[in-house]
Structure 1
Amino acid sequence: MVTFVPTAPGRLADVPSFVRGIGGAESNVACALAASGHRAKWVGRVGADGFGEHLVAAIGSYGVDTSAVQRDPDRPTGIYFRTAGERATGTAGEEPDRAEVIYYRAGSAASAMSPSTMRYEDLFSGRILHLSGITAALSADCLSLMRTLTTRFPGRPLVSFDVNYRVNLWHDAADPRVLLDLARGADIVFVGEDEAEAAWGVRGSAAIREVLPEPEVLVVKRGERGAVAYARRAATFPTPPHPEPRAPLPEPRTSNAAGAEFPAPQARPDTVTDEPAPRVDVVAPVGAGDAFAAGFLSATLRELSARERLRHGHLMAAATLTVAADLAVPPARAYADRLVALDARAWGTLRLGPGWTATAEQHPQGRQDPQEVRIP
């Protein structure tokens, strides 16, 4: 989508003007991964209009492959307006300090995504396929596509799924519990504790794991308290396979509510890794969840340890938290690796503020003690 962000604080009703940007959970992740040195492809649909042209150009400027993006001549590019605060997860009116977000995406080009309009050669061309629960709320066709892509079958890439519950998108007869259904078919799942409670009525990371036993990896985000990862493999986290010829897409499943299509996971104890987040001087919280997923997936592609994957997620989130936009320049890989390697005491004293990612350029030899990265 094209995002319109106000030029001044206040209610949308009072804001005099807006600045155009780009938005979208999956494209945010793709841009962050490309900026971190990975090959990333964004697969989607935009309108054959100026906003669609802007989106494709802006995403491509990060180094993302946009060759698979489809232009729809009959449907417009989606747009949305938001204030600067955090996106709400509760019922409208219950969280006055959260952002106002208004979506204009019904009937958009993206809402026409379906198993028949998207090519599996594009979707399965990488080692990881990253999906977002936002897509499932756009239309029945989008939900069908998501059900197809979260169906387990031989030869699919590692499927990553970020729940991304947005209360504004789930209304009328739409049931956000479908997000739980989709998450059960993924290999790596990201969900916030607040999201799980708001969407499913499940409270606490251990309880979330109980209702999501199928994914090999479950990452529960806990805001300032950090994140905890549950892995079904005792020795290591799963690593994504290398691309190979794929079979045609399976027929989309209709529901997993009864559990018939997902046999119970083998009786293997979880490896539980709880990693605190560094202290961050927050400028704006929007986009931090997408950045965390990008950092975690970047470390997954590099086959790093569970602790390192979580710390890279925290650092990428910190880069976004300390800027006003949805996307930020990530820290240089060598500098991020140096911070990730800190011992528990040093990591616990780390404080990051606006401009902290530039430290790597200012100190290319890494001479500055990372414990002293406390930029106000």
Structure 2
Amino acid sequence: MGSDIAGPCSVVCLGEALIDRLGPPGGDPALDRPVDDRLGGAPANVACGLARLGTPVAFAGRLGQDAIGEAFSTLFAERGLQTELLQRDAERPSRIVLVRRSPDGERQFQAFSGDQGLGFADQALEPASLPPARWLLIGTLPLAAPMSASALLSAVRQAQSQGTGIALDVNWRPTFWDPVADPATGPGPKALAATEPLLQQAALIKLAREEALCFFKTDDPGAIQQALPQRPDVVVTDGAAPVRWQLGADSGEQTAFQPPTVVDTTGAGDAFTAGLLHRWAAAPQERIRFAAACGALVCGGPGGIDPQPTEAQVEVFLGGVS
């Protein structure tokens, strides 16, 4: 079964597009060489993943008038994304995130590069009129800066008025809230208060297990669903451990697929989210299974965008696993 298409644009992905500067395995990307610069950012990753799978998608974000911005413009054109909502900033640069990689491919976001004193372009995202869509896909990172927070909340209000479902990938990254924070730090009172309204409005919430524990004190998707007034669909991922989900009244677990090789886990969760939204019209178990395959396949290459699979590639992969 194909994607759940609703008009010319099925999903609007709003938020950051940036560079993931991957350090050498076991090394420090701020000091050690070689580094591997990859286009990334969770909403941009999801948008590109959806486009490659065949879902009509628009990206709403802000990039600098720099080489990174040009690279994203080229990528979005190649993937066929709708870019009317893409903003360019003449004063602030595109963000570079320094990503430390362990020898087994796991990554940790540790700091930023490129700030010239005014912050980064994604922090200055301005409100814009959103087209009607089936989903508005958002994360929490724009909440960390006043201008982008205002633009995000404006988009959420528009989505509600248009009947667009809000899909929230929590994507907790303490470094965005405090550049010197320990990457393992959980959300403080300010971040919790800023995030709570999104949690109470989302129709779909996707969290990593550690995020579920931070925000809800439980990793049980059914308990999280019952804790929120709108009773959202909830998916909890846990790296190589099984995915747990509560979609409406249906619940279950999906064993994580093992990719043939693991080069880099960056973007695996975003590929999962893209697969989930792409297959939303399918039965709950099929949605999750397809999404899990997307997440596994993206680990086979560096970065979160280049290794993203086509629908045909996912189907071939699923045909070879039990």
TM-score by length of 2: 0.79
Q: Secondary structure at the match of 1:44?
A: strand
What is the aligned partner in structure 2 of residue 128 from structure 1? 135
CA distance in structure 1 between the aligned counterparts of 2:19 and 2:107, rounded to whole angstroms = 20
- What does 1:338-349 align with in structure 2 at a 5 Å threshold? none
Task: Confirm or deny: 8 A CA contact 2:98 2:111 kept in the other structure.
Answer: yes
Out of 180, 187, 190, the residue aligned to residue 175 of structure 1 is: 190
For the residues of structure 1 that align with 2:107 and 2:297, how far apart are their CA atoms? Answer: 21
* Equivalent-residue separation in structure 1 for 2:27 and 2:266 (angstroms): 16
Q: Which one of 46, 55, 66 corresponds to residue 29 of structure 1?
A: 46
Which residue identity lines up with residue 294 of structure 2 in the other structure? M
1:287 Cα deviation from its structure 2 partner: 0.8
Q: Deviations over 1:29-60 (max 9, x none)?
A: 01111111222211111122222222222333
Whether the aligned pair in 1 keeps the contact of 2:52 and 2:310 (CA below 8 Å) is no
Matched, 1:159 2:166: yes
Structure 1 residues 180 and 67, CA, compared in 2 at 3 Å: closer, same or farther?
Answer: same
Query: 1:12 and 2:23 equivalent?
Result: no
Match among 88, 95, 99 for residue 108 of structure 2? 99
* Structure 2 residue 226 is matched with structure 1 residue 276: no
Give the Å deviation of 1:309. Answer: 0.6
Deviating 4+ runs (over 6 angstroms): none
Task: Report the counterpart of residue 193 of structure 1 in structure 2.
Answer: 209
**1:335-361 CA distance string (max 9 Å, x none):** 534665xxxxxxxxxxxxxxxxxxxxx
Correspondence 1:108 to 2:120 = yes
1:8 to 1:34, Cα distance in 2 relative to 1, 3 A: same
Report which structure shows greater RCO (CA 8 Å, sep ≥6): 2
The alignment status of 1:226 with 2:242, answered yes or no, reads yes
In 1, the alpha carbon distance for the partners of 2:257 and 2:53 equals: 20
8 Å Cα contact 1:85-1:284 kept in structure 2? no
Q: Paired residue for 2:90, among 70, 73, 77? A: 73
Cα distance change on mapping 1:62 and 1:160 into 2, 3 Å: same
After superposition, residues 298-317 of structure 1 pair within 5 angstroms as 298-300=278-280, 303-317=281-295
| Aligned-pair CA distance for 1:292 | 0.5
Q: Aligned-pair distance for 1:223?
A: 2.7
Percent identity over the alignment is 24
RMSD over aligned CA atoms reads: 2.7
* Structure 2 partner of 1:48: 65
Letter in 2 for 1:277: A
Larger strand fraction of residues: 2
- Residue 320 of structure 2 is aligned to residue 370 of structure 1: yes
Q: What corresponds to 2:185 in structure 1?
A: none
Do 2:138 and 2:169's aligned partners in 1 also have CA atoms closer than 8 Å? yes
Q: Is the 8 A contact 1:226 1:276 kept in 2?
A: yes
SS of equivalent residue, structure 1 residue 148: helix
Q: Secondary structure at the match of 1:126?
A: coil
Tell which structure's C-alpha radius of gyration is larger.
1
* C-alpha spacing 1:213/1:278, structure 2 compared with 1 (3 Å): farther
- Conserved in 1, the CA contact under 8 Å of 2:63 and 2:69? yes
Q: Provide Cα deviations, 1:135-187, integer angstroms capped at 9, x if missing partner.
A: 222x1222223333334734232221100001212349772313233122111
Instruction: Tell me by how many angstroms 1:72 deviates.
Output: 1.6
Give the whole-Å Cα distance in 1 for the aligned partners of 2:55 and 2:160.
Answer: 26
Letter in 1 for 2:265: P
What is the aligned counterpart of 2:270 among 290, 293, 297?
290
Q: Which runs of 5+ in 2 are unaligned?
A: 1-17, 182-187
